Amino acid sequence: MSKIGITVFGSTGDLTYRKLMPAFYNLFSRGLLANDFDICAIGRRDYSKEEYLEIISDWIKKFARLEVTEEKLNEFFKHITYLKMDFTIKEDYKLLEKYYENKNIENHIVYLAVAPSFFEKIGDGVKDIKNIINPKIILEKPFGDSLENARYLSEKLETTFGKNKIYRIDHYLGKEMIRNILTIRTTNRTISKVWSKEDVASVHISALETVGVDTRVGYYDETGALMDMVTNHLLQILTVVALDDPNGIIHDEQFKVLSNLKLIEDVDIKNSMILGQYEGYKEIEEVNDNSNTETYASLKLFIDNERWQGVPFFIRTGKKCDNREVEVALTFKRQNIDVEPDVLIIKIQPIEGVYLEFNIKTPGEESGVTKAKMEFCQSCEDVFRLNTPEAYERMILACLNNDNSWFSQWDQIELSWKYIEGLKEKYKNEKLPVYTYEQGSKGPIEANNLACNEDEKWR
* Confidence at 217, pLDDT banded by 50, 70, 90: confident
Q: What is the pLDDT of residues 403-451, one digit of tens each?
A: 999 999 999 999 999 999 999 999 999 999 999 999 999 999 999 999 9
Residue where a domain terminates, one of 147, 169, 191: 169
Counting every residue written for the chain, the total comes to 459
Catalytic residue among 79, 108, 171, 233: 233
Summarize the confidence of residues 369-382 as an average pLDDT.
Answer: 90
Q: Is the same domain home to 138 and 274?
A: no
Q: Residue 1: is its pLDDT beyond 70?
A: no
Whole-structure pTM value:
0.94
Q: Residue 360: is its pLDDT beyond 90?
A: yes
Average pLDDT of the chain is 94
Within a domain: residue 181? yes
Convert the chain into a string of H (helix), E (strand) and C (coil).
CCCEEEEEECCCCHHHHHHHHHHHHHHHHCCCCCCCCEEEEEECCCCCHHHHHHHHHHHHHHHCCCCCCHHHHHHHHCCEEEEECCCCCHHHHHHHHHHCCCCCCCEEEEEECCCHHHHHHHHHHHHCCCCCCCCEEEEECCCCCCHHHHHHHHHHHHHHHCHHHEEEECHHHHCHHHHHHHHHHHHCHHHHCCCCCCCEEEEEEEEECCCCCHHHHHHHHHHHHHHHHHHHHHHHHHHHHHCCCCCCCHHHHHHHHHHCECCHHHCCHHHCEEEEEECCHHHCCCCCCCCCCCCEEEEEECECCCCCCCCCEEEEEECCECCCEEEEEEEECCCCCCCCCCEEEEEEECCCEEEEEEEEECCCCCCCEEEEEEEEECCCCHHHHHHCCCHHHHHHHHHHCCCCCCCECHHHHHHHHHHHHHHHHHHHHCCCCEEEECCCECCCHHHHHHCCCHHHCCC
| Other CB atoms within 10 Å distance of the CB of residue 105 | 22
Q: Residue 254: is its pLDDT beyond 80?
A: yes
Q: Is the same domain home to 346 and 293?
A: yes
pLDDT of residue 103: 86
Q: Is the same domain home to 117 and 178?
A: no
Q: Which amino acid is at 165?
A: K
Q: Is the same domain home to 244 and 348?
A: yes
Give residue 184's domain range: 172-387+409-456
Whether omega for the bond prior to residue 350 falls within 30 degrees of 0, making it cis, is yes
Q: Is the same domain home to 142 and 43?
A: yes
Within a domain: residue 392? no
Q: Residue 385: is its pLDDT beyond 90?
A: no
Within a domain: residue 320? yes
Q: What is the pLDDT of residues 267-291, one digit of tens each?
A: 999 999 999 999 999 999 889 889 9
Query: Does residue 126 contact residue 110 with C-beta atoms inside 8 Å?
Result: yes
CA distance to 6, 20, 110, 120, 135, per residue, from 127 (Å) = 15, 23, 11, 11, 9
Q: Is the same domain home to 219 and 241?
A: yes
Q: What span, in angstroms and rounded, lies between the C-alpha atoms of 66 and 63? A: 9
Task: Respond yes or no: is residue 251 known to be catalytic.
Answer: no
Within a domain: residue 17? yes
Query: Does residue 178 contact residue 348 with C-beta atoms inside 8 Å?
Result: yes
Residue where a domain terminates, one of 105, 140, 169: 169
Q: What is the pLDDT of residues 149-205, one digit of tens each?
A: 999 999 999 999 999 999 999 999 999 999 999 999 999 999 999 999 999 999 999
Q: Is the same domain home to 9 and 114?
A: yes
Nearest to 354 by CA among 136, 179, 200, 194: 179
Convert 135-189 into a string of H (helix), E (strand) and C (coil).
CEEEEECCCCCCHHHHHHHHHHHHHHHCHHHEEEECHHHHCHHHHHHHHHHHHCH
For the chain, what percent of residues have pLDDT higher than 90? 88
Q: What span, in angstroms and rounded, lies between the C-alpha atoms of 179 and 119? A: 29
Q: Is the same domain home to 239 and 289?
A: yes
* Confidence at 102, pLDDT banded by 50, 70, 90: confident
Q: What is the pLDDT of residues 225-244, one digit of tens each?
A: 999 999 999 999 999 999 99
Cα separation of the two ends of the chain = 49
Q: Which amino acid is at 367?
A: S
Within a domain: residue 348? yes
Sign of CA dihedral 194, 195, 197, 201: positive
CATH number (domain holding residue 322): 3.30.360.10
Alpha carbon dihedral 258, 136, 152, 222, in 10-degree steps, equals: 70
Q: Residue 138: is its pLDDT beyond 90?
A: yes
CATH number (domain holding residue 139): 3.40.50.720
Q: Is the same domain home to 47 and 78?
A: yes
pLDDT of residue 142: 85
Within a domain: residue 396? no
Q: What is the pLDDT of residues 36-66, one digit of tens each?
A: 899 999 999 999 999 999 999 999 999 999 9
Q: Which amino acid is at 32?
A: L
Within a domain: residue 163? yes
* Confidence at 127, pLDDT banded by 50, 70, 90: very high
Within a domain: residue 49? yes
> Is 448 exposed, middle or buried (CB count within 10 Å of its CB: 0-12, 13-18, 19+)?
middle
Q: What span, in angstroms and rounded, lies between the C-alpha atoms of 455 and 343? A: 10
The number of folded domains in the chain is 2
Q: Is the same domain home to 150 and 253?
A: no
Q: Is the same domain home to 195 and 209?
A: yes
Q: Is the same domain home to 218 and 330?
A: yes
Residue where a domain terminates, one of 169, 202, 230: 169
